[in-house]
Amino acid sequence: MPTAAINLVLAESRILSGDTLQAQVVIDSADPDTIVEELYAEVRGIGKAGWVNIHTDKIYETEREYINVVINLCKNAMALRTGRHQFGFQVVIPEFCPSSYESQFGTIRYTVRINMVANSQQATITEVFPFLVVSKSYLDDIPSAIMRQIEYKDEVDFTVCSLPFGTVYLKVVMSRTGFRLGESIPVKVCIKNGTRKMLKDCRIQLILKTQFEATSRYEHINEKKLLEHLMDSNVLGRVKGKTEKEFDIQLLKIPENAVPTQQASKTDDPNIISLTYVMRFTALPGIETEIPLIITSKGYKNTIKHGNAEEKMPPMATIRPPDQNRPRLSIVEGNSRGIAYYC
């Protein structure tokens, strides 16, 4: 029967990358003759991605180590009297560490392993304690164009056997496309239905896209896998044929405990798990469009200079079909009102 028990007390439940992990190792001893020979803590962060291709039976797996630090809590052998004992330590989490993440195709886990070697087997204990890391990012770090109003315009032509059945014009207005965790995303949708068919089940969604990258075990060939997770959704309704409709402003909530955007690195050692967000609009039959978003873990570094990042949506005008004489653009176009995306 064990004569000692180990627990770990953290100063914070979630640690930002670049910050200091402050912890207390708590040991309860019931044997007055216990002598501790070794006592140390191992702080590790490991990312893993892997799956089996069901068509080829190939095994893909990759592992990355982000942090591996060993802290000696007991330099010399010491007697551990009956009662409770505490040992504190601090570790700086590197800034490049990605956020903790769990899924069926990959994980990023951070743990503290406490090892105590004593003069008896009953007092020799090893315990593993997980903790959460969130990558630190600010709204200051993203391009200024992301923090401006955008007007996304798209059109869908319904053609069957070379016979045109009309066009659906879509306009999505957002105050910006950069947000922080815990914020609400205001979205304004306007639709002009030029067809005779009713558009059903119009809705907006906040989607987290996770891309995993792993290497085959024998051929050493990289393969990627994409996983989508629905974070929030709002149903807008229907649009009758040959009508225009301007929906009320809808809010998509970013969970406070979600993970921020983590782009795939372009270096020689890319991230095995990348996280991106999109605002998706869907409608039946067969309409789907996406607007990429950037989600940070923190707001502005200087809140006095920038103020509150949350903005009110400007008043909306009635949607009009795009000017057919104007050239169609496939890049971000700057103008006095903000940014407009054309497809």
* Range in 84-98, 248-262, 295-309 with the lowest mean pLDDT: 295-309
Residue 294, phi then psi, degrees to nearest 5: -120, 125
Cβ-based neighbour number of residue 147 at 10 Å: 21
List pLDDT tens digits, range 189-223: 999 999 988 999 999 999 999 999 999 988 888 99
Q: What's the rounded Cα separation, in Å, for the pair 85 and 272?
A: 40
Q: Residue 262: exposed, middle, or buried by beta-carbon count in 10 A (0-12, 13-18, 19+)?
A: buried
Residue 145 phi/psi, 5° resolution? -65, -25
Would you say the pTM of this structure is higher than 0.85?
A: no
pLDDT digits (tens, 9 = 90+) for 130-173: 999 999 999 999 999 999 999 999 998 886 665 567 899 999 99
Which of the pair, 322 or 198, is modelled with greater confidence?
198
Enumerate domains of the chain plus CATH numbers.
4-134 (2.60.40.640), 139-333 (2.60.40.640)
Kindly state the tokens that stand for 315. 């008043």
- DSSP letters, 129-181, are EEEEEE----GGGS-GGGGS-EEEEEEEEEEETTEEEEEEEEEEEES-SEEET
Strands 338-342 and 184-193 come out as unpaired
Look at residue 312 in the predicted model and tell me its pLDDT.
Answer: 42
